[in-house]
Amino acid sequence: MAPKNKKTNILNLKGEDKRLVGRLWRDYIRPFRRRLYLAFFFMVVLAAATAAYGFLVKYIIDVANNLDGNVIATDAGVQAKRFALTVVPVVVALTIISGGSMFIQSILANSVALNTIGNLQKTMFASIHRADFARFGREPTGTLISRFTNDVTILTGAMLRTMTNLVRDVLTVIFGIVVMLKLDWQMSLLVLIVYPIAAWPIINISKKMRGNAKNAQEQIGVITSQLGESFSGARMVRTYGLEDYENKRLGASFNERVRLYLKLVTNQARVDPILEVLGGVAIAGVFALGVYRVVGGQTTAGDIAGLLTMLLVMSPRIRALGTLNNAVQEGLAALHRVFNVIDEVPTITEARDAALLADVKGALEFDNVSFAYEDGTQAISELSFKVKPGETIALVGPSGGGKSTIINLIARLYDVNAGSISIDGTDIKNVTLMSLRNSMALVSQDITLFDDTVAANIGFGRQGASAEDIEVAAKAAAAHDFILDLADGYQTRVGEGGGKLSGGQRQRIALARAILRDAPILLLDEATSALDAQSEAKVQTALYSLTKGRTVFVIAHRLSTVKNADRILVLDDGQIIESGTHAALMKKDGLYSKLRALQFS
């Protein structure tokens, strides 16, 4: 482990901070380095042009003092005219150079920062979808969204200020100091002694701000998650009269955000007064010492005016550098959270020599499989069974028995803790994830529709499917008729989460998507749970046709929907306690017959 760096640097970066900033440069900023270097060039030009005002003011004051007031009016006018013809072009030129350089460096630096942030977001998003399915259960969705919105916004602001203000302002201060030393090095030393006094308290403040920024950003994630819950559950909130409860719950979170941000802005507010007071002390010292030195003939009024000009130019730059450290500390806290997402290592990965799962027949075997969730909950224990190609297997039993876990394990959303799962004799860990999942179609009770057209949502089942293929799939899912009744037919947007459609309509679109996929293995997890009796009858007919020649796993709490399965596996507490056809299980008078009796009692 590298030794800790005890030296103070302008941004108070620690070892881990330096590593992340170095990584940010190497992986995300460096591709735009030519653009950034060009921006730095114009920052140098801007700083030099700004510092030149000190010499310009000195020249104006000294020349004005040397004009001969005793000459006749005509000669005085000539002198003034020559003076104006000299000064005015210089002032205009400096203004044009400063303005043009400021504009160009700002556009270039902003372009680099925003492109960098865009690439970071893309990498974060790709990392989320590479991560294990289990990570979505570990962290609320709102917290994840906050990483892409709040954290990225803070990081963007920090990068923009760092790329633009840090280099530009440091260069301006350096050029300003050079000009001041040239004008009067003795008086300049006064300023150089006063300002560094501010470094120690500012660094201490920035240390406190790191923790404040981290807590405030995490609270934004909590609020985002709670808002998502409240808005998505608006129907229940109103029906159960939970408005006051939600107001109190979110109100407490809003109050906590205010408290955390007040701590943050309080520390931020301490920086400007410190620099303002020290700036005032420096200016007062220049006035006092300057008058004494002018009277003593040790310097000129132009030198003093030039020094004061540089102080007035440098003061806001120095204050900006002081508050920049605050923004950097917030940005570093956000950068840590962003890279935490990017660096999450999935445990479900492909073997190096993973093969393509091709020409799938649909034979499937669970061999002594056990699985427990991250919290230690045992889902299934030493589970073994075989499925023949084209066989329909129904999974029934009490909630928590392991039915959905079996579906998730087949699709390798989770990996088994012990035992193995094979398709056509090949362990699913030895095939590519893409080919494994391409061999399956899933219809769940949790319908996922995107805010896109009906046609697009069905078409996700098979990328590149034609409009005719989509329509055939919709007809097979008993969805075609209601789709034609929508405002724009197949081009109707379904709204966020399919909110413009009924539950039954959403489920039939999901079924059409699975039908379009035309996969050899079909996974149905309460696939008809949201359908009315008439729609369910139509869909069951479609499913009967769809399941021919495919291996099908069906989960259904309504046992009437599984009685035609080739085999029914009755699960309880993660183990198969009964297996057989509907008729055979009814004769056993076991758990299956009791569950059926309860449903039809």
pLDDT tens-digit profile of 413-431? 999 999 999 999 999 999 9
Structure tokens at 174: 């350096």
| Torsion sign, CA atoms 121, 126, 130, 134 | positive
| For residue 471, pLDDT beyond 70 | yes
Whole-prediction pTM: 0.74
Domain 450-518, what architecture? 3-Layer(aba) Sandwich (3.40)
User: What mean pLDDT comes out for the span 41-54?
Assistant: 90
| For residue 532, pLDDT beyond 80 | no
**Average model confidence (pLDDT) across the chain:** 81
Q: Interhelix angle for 301-342 vs 167-194, to 10°? A: 130
CATH number, span 15-342: 1.20.1560.10
Classify residue 325 as exposed, middle or buried by CB count within 10 Å of its CB (0-12, 13-18, 19+): buried
Q: What pLDDT, on a 0 to 100 scale, did the predictor assign at position 489?
A: 93
Q: What pLDDT, on a 0 to 100 scale, did the predictor assign at position 268?
A: 64
| For residue 334, pLDDT beyond 90 | no
CA-to-CA distance for 174 and 181, rounded, in angstroms?
A: 11
| For residue 251, pLDDT beyond 70 | yes
Q: What pLDDT, on a 0 to 100 scale, did the predictor assign at position 163?
A: 83
* pLDDT tier, 8 (very low <50, low <70, confident <90, very high otherwise): very low
Other CB atoms within a 10 A radius of the CB of residue 387 amount to 22
CA-to-CA distance for 121 and 103, rounded, in angstroms?
A: 27
Q: What pLDDT, on a 0 to 100 scale, did the predictor assign at position 221?
A: 73
Q: What pLDDT, on a 0 to 100 scale, did the predictor assign at position 66?
A: 67
Sequence-distant contacts of 210-215: CB under 8 A, at least 24 apart: 210/329, 210/332, 210/333, 212/260, 212/263, 212/264, 212/267, 213/154, 213/264, 213/329, 213/330, 213/333, 213/334, 214/333, 214/336, 215/260
pLDDT tens sequence across 428-470:
999 999 899 989 988 887 788 888 899 999 998 888 899 999 9
Structure tokens at 271: 């920086």
CA-to-CA distance for 436 and 520, rounded, in angstroms?
A: 11
Phi, psi dihedrals of residue 515, rounded to the nearest 5°: -65, -40
CA-to-CA distance for 317 and 320, rounded, in angstroms?
A: 5
| Torsion sign, CA atoms 251, 257, 262, 263 | positive
Q: Which of 436, 437, 438, 459 is nearest to 510 (CA)?
A: 459
Q: Which of 323, 361, 316, 403 is nearest to 549 (CA)?
A: 361
Flag the least confident range among 65-74, 222-231, 353-362, 383-392.
65-74
CA-to-CA distance for 592 and 569, rounded, in angstroms?
A: 9
Per-residue DSSP letter, 292: H
Do 490 and 409 touch, CB atoms closer than 8 A? no
Q: What pLDDT, on a 0 to 100 scale, did the predictor assign at position 205?
A: 64
| For residue 65, pLDDT beyond 60 | yes
CA-to-CA distance for 401 and 396, rounded, in angstroms?
A: 8
pLDDT tens sequence across 184-210:
887 777 777 766 665 566 656 666 665
Structure tokens at 422: 């094979």
Same topology for domains 15-342 and 450-518, yes or no? no
* Residue boundaries of the structural domains of the chain: 15-342, 450-518
Do 179 and 48 touch, CB atoms closer than 8 A? no
CA distances from 320 to 15, 108, 173, 324 (A): 25, 20, 11, 6
Structure tokens at 538: 């139509």
Q: What pLDDT, on a 0 to 100 scale, did the predictor assign at position 1?
A: 36
Q: What pLDDT, on a 0 to 100 scale, did the predictor assign at position 196?
A: 67
pLDDT tens sequence across 113-168:
889 988 998 998 888 888 888 777 777 777 788 788 888 888 888 888 888 888 88
Q: What pLDDT, on a 0 to 100 scale, did the predictor assign at position 78?
A: 65
Do 462 and 518 touch, CB atoms closer than 8 A? yes
369 - beta bridge partners?
A: 383
Q: Does 349 or 278 have the greater pLDDT score? A: 349
Sequence-distant contacts of 271-275: CB under 8 A, at least 24 apart: 271/202, 271/205, 271/319, 271/322, 271/323, 271/325, 271/326, 272/319, 272/322, 272/323, 274/198, 274/201, 274/202, 274/322, 275/195, 275/198, 275/315, 275/318, 275/319, 275/322
Other CB atoms within a 10 A radius of the CB of residue 418 amount to 12
pLDDT tens sequence across 353-412:
889 988 899 999 999 999 998 878 889 999 999 999 999 999 998 888 888 899 999 999
Instruction: Using only the alpha carbons of the chain, give its radius of gyration.
Output: 36
Residues 6+ apart with CB under 8 A from 129: none
Q: What pLDDT, on a 0 to 100 scale, did the predictor assign at position 6?
A: 41
